[in-house]
Amino acid sequence: MSKTIIANFKMELSLKQSLDLLKKYKKGLKTINTNYNLVVCPDFLCLAYLSAKDEKTRVFPFNLGSQTVGHLKYGALTGEVSAFNLKDIGVSFCLLGHSERRQMGENNHIIREKIKTALKAKLIPVLCIGEEKKLSKSKLDTFLAKEIRETFSGFSQSEMKKIIIAYEPVWAIGNKNPCLPKKADEVHGLIKEIIFKKFKTNIKVLYGGSVNGENAKSYLEWENIDGLLVGGASLSWKKFKKVIN
C-alpha cells in the first residue's frame, strides 16, 4: 500500500505565492521518482483560480485537496464552500477537523456532518484528531476512543473504507518537540485497532505535527504510519522535496 503525503498550505501564502509554489511542485516532481500518493491543499482562492484556467494548467502530478468543506450540499452557510463545487473543479481530498478549525469552534458533531457530505460528493475525507496536551496512555486511549465514537456515530463499514485519519497531537504542532516516531506508531496502531473493532475494516492513518525533511523518514519507516500531513515544510519546494525524498 503506497503511503500518502499531504501538503497543507493553510492561509500562509498570497495567491501569487501559492501559484508560483505549485509551479515549482509541478516542475520538481517531474524529476523525482516517488511511490507516494501526494496531495496538495492550497487555499480556496487558489483552487478557484486553477479551475478557471485551461485544462493543461490544471494538470498536476499530485491530487488537489481542500482545507475544509461545508456540512451541507448547498445552503445558507456564509463563508463555507460546497464539497460538490470542489469536486466539480477537480478536488479529490479534503481535510476535516484540523486542530485550527476546532479552535474556531468546530466540534465532532459538525465534523461528522462534513464528513458525510464530503463522502456524498465523492471526496476522500482526511479527519484530523489529536490531543491538546500530553496524556497518559490510559487517558489518551479514552480520548481517542471518544473522538472516534462521536465522529463516526452511524457510519457504515463501506463509508469507513473511504476515510483517512490524520493523527496530529496539538502539543507537537509548530515546535521542536514532535511526537517521537515510536510513540506515533503506537498511537496509530491504537487508532487502527479502535476502528477495526467497531467497523471491521482497516483504515489509513497519517502523522502530522512538526514534520520536516530531517524527521520524515523516521516516521515513514514505521508500519502503522501510512503517511504524513505536512504544514510549514510544505511552503517551500526545497523543504518539501526533502520530505518526499
Q: Where in the sequence numbering do the catalytic residues fall? A: 98, 168
Which of 164, 165, 244 minimizes the C-alpha distance to 211?
244
Q: Exposure string (b/e) for 84-106, b if CB count within 10 Å is 16 or more?
A: bbbbeeebebbbbbbbbbbeeeb
Q: Contact 243/230 with Cβ under 8 angstroms?
A: yes
> CA 153, CA 171: separation in Å to the nearest integer?
27
Q: How far apart are CA 61 and CA 122, in angstroms?
A: 20
The CA distances from residue 160 to 173, 181, 199, in Å, are 26, 25, 7
Alpha helices in 81-212 (DSSP H): 83-88, 99-103, 108-120, 137-151, 157-160, 181-199
